[in-house]
């Protein structure tokens, strides 16, 4: 069971972040935002994959000019990532954007930040204040000295974390002065250990919702491990209100992996089948890798979170597939299919894929009709009231 840290809640175009809301999945388009049709197509693709918020970059005026057309067609709320020009923030707000992302390293002028905050308040638009390791390392000597003092350490890693927190505190003072609290925070780095420690420090210091992510995680093959190491560690300790996994690839992979991570940690309910498979070993009696790929493809048409196991032999298979709703134990030219522990039928190897699918579909139909229950219960993602504070610590909320 994961106890989530309860944070202030913000509303981004109807999507709640923080408080008792489930962890929100977000991603970012890789298109030029001014290319409206391509950007809308990518937003739709991400939304179809389960993305709940999509960020678009608006480095130029022609990007913010495109926003009304994009907002009109988008099925999910849109976040504008403002880089160096505060005018882009003002234009995006004017066009009805749902959230703004500001980098304290890029927009520093107090009067400009005040104006962005005033415009966001008028339209109830939350702001993400996103600090990146890359932008804080260029800070002034004064900031560095303050961070060194706060870190109480000569260790460069601890000083970096203290500097990131210091930069955030400094910037958030402007928001405090404006009495503006609809803020989401992020503290990204390319280094998963920096990410873990920076967010832990932020979770102790602020009660604002946290947007988790790494910068430049790399291609999915390696970025996946780096992202899951950092985000999984934080989420498992109750930290994180929205996540963006970022890869140098089609952003749909980011959304798929984000959902798998949240479902694995029982922070979100599965809505589609979960496929488990044996890792294969010297007892294998079938081309299991191919079978798993075929089963995975076929199961995409089922929209019930049935747990399906594909096992490579009948020796250890039944024990290892414990907890699966539907399982096949394959080998010696045949497959034995079980449904919730009960042996249903034995089929020839060539019929195994279709037979397994038929049993999965029939079981899913029974679940939908209320005649059967999934073996692992659905997760309650809305936490009840916070646990009582006994020591002044941040309140926790129960997720499961």
Q: Angle 33-74-23 (CA atoms, 0-180°, nearest 5)? A: 100
Distance between CA atoms of 37 and 44, rounded to whole angstroms? 11
**In contact, 55 and 78? CB cutoff 8 Å:** yes
Distance between CA atoms of 280 and 313, rounded to whole angstroms? 9
With H, G, I as helix, E, B as strand and everything else as coil, classify residue 299. Answer: helix
b/e per residue, 226-259, with b = 16+ CB within 10 A?
bbbebbbbbbebbbbbbbbbbbeeebbbbbbbbb
Structure tokens, 398? 């129960």
Between residues 243 and 278, which has the closer beta carbon with respect to ligand SF4? Answer: 278
CB of 330 to ligand SF4, least distance (A): 9
Between residues 127 and 321, which has the closer beta carbon with respect to ligand SF4? Answer: 321
Length of the chain: 400
| Distance spanning both ends of the chain, measured CA to CA | 6
Q: Angle 340-344-347 (CA atoms, 0-180°, nearest 5)? A: 130
CB of 322 to ligand SF4, least distance (A): 12
CB of 285 to ligand SF4, least distance (A): 7
CB of 290 to ligand SF4, least distance (A): 14
Residue ranges binding ligand SF4 (CB under 6 A): 278-281, 283-284, 311-313, 315-317, 320
Distance between CA atoms of 120 and 277, rounded to whole angstroms? 49
Conformation bin of residue 144: beta by default, left when phi > 0, alpha when psi is -120 to 50: alpha
Distance between CA atoms of 50 and 47, rounded to whole angstroms? 5
CB of 265 to ligand SF4, least distance (A): 25
Between residues 79 and 311, which has the closer beta carbon with respect to ligand SF4? Answer: 311
CB of 228 to ligand SF4, least distance (A): 23
CB of 308 to ligand SF4, least distance (A): 14
CB of 331 to ligand SF4, least distance (A): 8
Looking at beta carbons, which residue is closest to ligand SF4? Answer: 278
């Amino acid at each position: 069971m994961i106890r989530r840290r309860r944070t202030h809640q913000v509303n981004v175009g109807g999507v709640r972040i923080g408080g008792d809301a489930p962890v929100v999945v977000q991603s970012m388009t890789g298109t030029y935002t001014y290319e409206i049709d391509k950007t809308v197509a990518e937003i739709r693709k991400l939304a179809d994959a389960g993305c709940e918020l999509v960020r678009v970059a608006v480095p130029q005026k022609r990007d913010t000019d495109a926003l009304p057309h994009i907002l009109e067609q988008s099925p999910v709320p849109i976040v504008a990532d403002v880089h160096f020009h505060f005018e882009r923030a003002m234009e995006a707000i004017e066009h009805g954007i749902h959230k703004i992302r500001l980098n304290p390293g890029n927009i520093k002028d107090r009067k400009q930040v005040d104006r962005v905050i005033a415009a966001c308040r008028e339209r109830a638009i939350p702001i993400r204040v996103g600090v990146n390791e890359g932008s804080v390392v260029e800070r002034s000597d004064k900031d560095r000295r303050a961070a060194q003092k706060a870190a109480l350490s000569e260790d460069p890693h601890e000083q970096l974390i203290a500097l990131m927190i210091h930069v955030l505190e400094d910037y958030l003072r402007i928001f405090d002065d404006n009495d503006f609290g609809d803020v989401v925070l992020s503290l990204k780095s390319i280094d998963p250990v920096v990410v873990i420690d920076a967010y832990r420090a932020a979770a102790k210091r602020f009660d604002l919702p946290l947007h988790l992510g790494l910068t430049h995680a790399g291609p999915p093959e390696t970025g996946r491990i780096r992202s899951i190491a950092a985000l999984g560690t934080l989420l498992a300790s109750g930290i994180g209100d929205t996540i963006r996994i970022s890869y140098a690839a089609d952003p749909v992979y980011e959304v798929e992996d984000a959902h798998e991570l949240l479902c694995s940690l029982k922070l979100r309910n599965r809505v589609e089948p979960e496929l488990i498979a044996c890792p294969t070993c010297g007892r294998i009696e079938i081309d299991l890798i191919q079978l798993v790929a075929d089963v995975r493809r076929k199961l995409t048409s089922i929209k019930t979170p049935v747990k399906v196991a594909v096992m490579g032999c009948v020796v250890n298979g039944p024990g290892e597939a414990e907890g699966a709703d539907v399982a096949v134990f394959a080998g010696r030219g045949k497959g034995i299919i079980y449904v919730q522990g009960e042996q249903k039928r034995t089929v020839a190897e060539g019929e195994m894929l279709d037979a397994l699918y038929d049993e999965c579909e029939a079981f899913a139909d029974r679940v939908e009709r209320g005649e059967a229950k999934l073996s692992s219960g659905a997760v309650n993602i809305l936490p009840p009231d916070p646990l009582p504070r006994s020591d002044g610590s941040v309140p926790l909320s129960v997720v499961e």
